[in-house]
């Protein structure tokens, strides 16, 4: 452990020495830039470029030149020229150094992200990763890890994105100066966004709220709009519409910053429209949607443009103008389907199904529900739970490490003051004391991490809401011929959330979980399968008594209200045959569940071993 600390301490010293050798312009760049949202202005970049004209083979020159090209290419009409110029500069940097190449790649990735060229940015990930294997300055290491995380996030690779953000978070331990607090805040924003994408809204709200508090205390205003936006969205999804949600969206909507012109404002206006659409204040909703469309058209942001137009069509449907609104929704969804995540596709399909229902197009409604189910199956809850649990533990451990590092830096500054006032012996004793205190802090942090890891395995196999086993736990459960699998899905669960709020929806799921546990034996298992689905595994059921066991479960659920609501379920049930895989049996039960849904809900379809299907209702 002592050897590990000595290596860490010497590494910090070597990086400090490197920082002392950074040229004056590099120091000025570090003071001005808050990457990726704030760059030097064009005049300042031109001045630096002129000063460096005799050192055009230096890493600093390539950094300034790349930033200058990026600054010019942020405007849509300069996009292609900027991309070509940066590609040419990248070829010129290859014989110079790894750092020169990475400075250009840093600017190139930022430009591609700015203009939503997500696939092109993804194609550069492996090249940047290979170059980062070489030794580069901590500042550049941090910025490239941050960029790779952003690229993977927008391409839907959330687990890899979180991994890169955590590596970037580790690099903050090697950095100091005024920009450290900003870097931490920007990473917190990225983590809050990903937690929201993974539907871990409670943690998304928590991270955003902490970042907002620090931003207020330290007067870090540049990220306030986006933090308000992500907190408002998380609260809306988890708690329903509230005054705080509206206040957050309004804060985000009225703040515009030069390096993010209108994007946050555009999304906040769209969210405000959605809030008032839910409140059935359609005139106010349309006003916000139209403002969002105007900004999206100015920014050439097709993705948000399609989302907002979809919402405008949905408002018309809700107003009874189905013939006008439904084609708008269909066209927007068709244009949007290849530009979004499966989760958002599923939400839009749910709204489409509602619109088809309003129009009396029941076949189209069933098809939309079927597609929604397929998409939901692609986004498995097991992956979301695993990604969150493992990486959240790492993030908390690194945050504690960062606090220890900041304490060490404070101790080092105090020690510098002592050196001028104390003799050599007194200084030596002070240094040893600081090292021992730091070592004790590191040992304490390591013990905390070990405790967190010990909790990880159990957390990853439990659903946080109901405390039931989740999909991951199924891997460790024994299965045998004669086990009865019953897959249940709460009917019209979306309507419960929309009408009563997500807290009521969570209460329904929790009460239903307790009801299901009370209806099975000790050796049986109840799992939350994902969303509003539950899986029951009843051990050793004879074929002749299977229907009776299913009917007992159905009666237990329906005998009285759940969370003061009339809740019904649909389901599919099948006996596990000799030699049949669990995966195949689950697919069979899922198909039976879909048949029960399509057949009117409030029933369970059970398939006998002879393939005969019995409907229990």
Average pLDDT over every residue of 95-102: 88
Q: Which segment of 112-121, 194-203, 418-427, 516-525 scores lowest on mean pLDDT?
A: 418-427
Tens digits of residue pLDDT in 217-273: 777 777 888 889 889 988 988 788 889 989 998 888 875 554 444 778 888 888 898
204 dihedral zone (left: phi>0; alpha: psi -120 to 50; beta):
alpha
Distances (CA, A) of 585 to 96, 354, 550, 603: 60, 31, 16, 19
Q: Which segment of 434-438, 485-489, 550-554, 583-587 scores lowest on mean pLDDT?
A: 434-438
Distance CA 74, CA 37 (A): 12
| Under 8 Å between Cβ of 151 and 187 | no
Residue 574 has pLDDT above 90, yes or no: yes
The pLDDT score that the predictor gives to residue 407 is: 46
- Hey, which residues does 537 pair with through a beta bridge? 485, 525
Tens digits of residue pLDDT in 57-76: 677 788 888 888 888 888 88
Q: Token pair of 163, please?
A: 């991994």
- Hey, which residues does 527 pair with through a beta bridge? 469, 535
Q: How many helices (H) and strands (E) does the chain have?
A: 27, 6
Residue 18 has pLDDT above 50, yes or no: no
Please give the radius of gyration of the chain, using alpha carbons only, rounded to the nearest integer.
28
Distance CA 603, CA 296 (A): 46
Distance CA 333, CA 60 (A): 46
Q: Which segment of 342-356, 380-394, 463-477, 517-531 scores lowest on mean pLDDT?
A: 380-394
Average pLDDT over every residue of 431-450: 74
Tens digits of residue pLDDT in 602-614: 899 998 887 888 8
**Cis bond leading into 104, ω under 30°?**
no
Distance CA 459, CA 560 (A): 32
Distance CA 431, CA 412 (A): 9
The pLDDT score that the predictor gives to residue 490 is: 92
Confidence of residue 391 (pLDDT cuts 50, 70, 90): low
The pLDDT score that the predictor gives to residue 538 is: 93
The pLDDT score that the predictor gives to residue 123 is: 93
Residue 432 has pLDDT above 60, yes or no: yes
Q: Which of 410-414, 534-538, 542-546 has the highest mean pLDDT?
A: 534-538
Q: Token pair of 427, please?
A: 């200084």
The pLDDT score that the predictor gives to residue 499 is: 87
| Under 8 Å between Cβ of 168 and 36 | no
Distance CA 268, CA 252 (A): 6
Average pLDDT over every residue of 449-456: 65
Residue 15 has pLDDT above 60, yes or no: no
The pLDDT score that the predictor gives to residue 31 is: 56
**Angle (deg, nearest 10), helices 282-299 and 263-278:** 160
Confidence of residue 6 (pLDDT cuts 50, 70, 90): very low
| Under 8 Å between Cβ of 398 and 390 | no
The pLDDT score that the predictor gives to residue 425 is: 65
The pLDDT score that the predictor gives to residue 418 is: 60
State CA 239 to chain mean position distance. Answer: 18
């Amino acid at each position: 452990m002592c050897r590990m600390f000595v290596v860490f301490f010497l590494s910090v010293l070597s990086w400090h020495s490197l920082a002392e050798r950074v040229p004056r312009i590099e120091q000025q760049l570090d003071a001005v830039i808050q990457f990726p949202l704030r760059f030097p202005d064009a005049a300042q970049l031109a001045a630096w470029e002129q000063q460096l004209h005799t050192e055009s083979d230096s890493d600093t020159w390539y950094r300034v030149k790349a930033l200058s090209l990026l600054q010019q290419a942020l405007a849509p009409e300069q996009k292609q020229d900027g991309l070509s110029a940066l590609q040419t500069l990248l070829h010129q940097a290859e014989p110079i150094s790894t750092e020169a190449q990475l400075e250009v790649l840093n600017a190139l990735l930022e430009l591609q992200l700015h203009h939503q060229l997500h696939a092109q940015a993804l194609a550069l990930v492996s090249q940047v990763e290979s170059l980062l294997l070489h030794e580069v300055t901590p500042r550049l290491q941090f910025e490239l890890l941050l960029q790779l995380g952003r690229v993977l996030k927008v391409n839907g690779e959330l687990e890899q994105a979180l991994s890169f953000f955590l590596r970037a978070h580790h690099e903050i331990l090697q950095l100091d100066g005024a920009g450290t607090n900003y870097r931490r805040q920007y990473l917190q924003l990225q983590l809050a966004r990903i937690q929201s994408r993974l539907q871990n809204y409670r943690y998304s709200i928590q991270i955003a709220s902490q970042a907002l508090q620090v931003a207020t205390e330290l007067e870090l205003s540049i990220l306030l709009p986006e933090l308000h936006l992500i907190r408002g969205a998380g609260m809306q999804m988890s708690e329903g519409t509230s005054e705080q949600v509206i206040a957050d969206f309004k804060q985000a909507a009225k703040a515009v910053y030069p390096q993010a012109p209108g994007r946050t404002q555009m999304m906040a206006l769209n969210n405000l429209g959605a809030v008032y659409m839910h409140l059935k204040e359609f005139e106010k909703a349309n006003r916000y949607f139209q403002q969002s469309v105007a900004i999206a058209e100015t920014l050439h942001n097709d993705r948000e443009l399609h989302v907002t137009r979809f919402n405008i069509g949905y408002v018309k449907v809700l107003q009874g103008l189905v013939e006008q609104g439904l084609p708008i929704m269909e066209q927007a969804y068709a244009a949007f389907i290849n530009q979004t995540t499966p989760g958002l596709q599923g939400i839009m399909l749910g709204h489409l199904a509602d619109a088809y229902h309003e129009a009396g197009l029941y076949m189209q409604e069933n098809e939309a529900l079927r597609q929604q189910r397929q998409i939901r199956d692609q986004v498995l809850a097991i992956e979301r739970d695993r990604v969150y649990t493992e990486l959240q533990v790492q993030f908390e451990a690194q945050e504690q490490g960062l606090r220890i590092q900041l304490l060490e830096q404070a101790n080092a500054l105090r020690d510098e003051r002592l050196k001028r006032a104390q003799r050599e012996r007194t200084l030596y004793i002070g240094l040893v004391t600081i090292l021992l205190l730091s070592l004790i802090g590191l040992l304490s942090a390591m013990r905390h991490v070990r405790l967190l890891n010990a909790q990880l395995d159990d957390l990853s196999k439990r659903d946080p809401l109901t405390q039931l086993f989740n999909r991951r736990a199924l891997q460790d459960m024994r299965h045998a011929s004669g086990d009865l699998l019953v897959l249940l899905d709460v009917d019209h669960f979306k309507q419960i959330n929309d009408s009563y709020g997500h807290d009521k929806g969570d209460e329904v799921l929790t009460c239903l979980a307790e009801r299901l546990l009370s209806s099975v034996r000790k050796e049986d298992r109840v799992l939350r399968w994902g969303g509003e689905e539950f899986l029951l595994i009843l051990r050793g059921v004879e074929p002749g008594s299977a229907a009776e066991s299913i009917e007992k479960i159905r009666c237990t659920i329906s005998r009285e209200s759940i969370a003061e609501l009339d809740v019904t379920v649909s389901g599919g049930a099948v006996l596990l045959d000799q030699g049949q895989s669990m995966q195949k049996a689950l697919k069979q039960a899922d198909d039976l569940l879909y048949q029960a849904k399509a057949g009117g809900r409030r029933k369970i379809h059970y398939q006998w071993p002879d393939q005969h299907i019995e409907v229990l209702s």
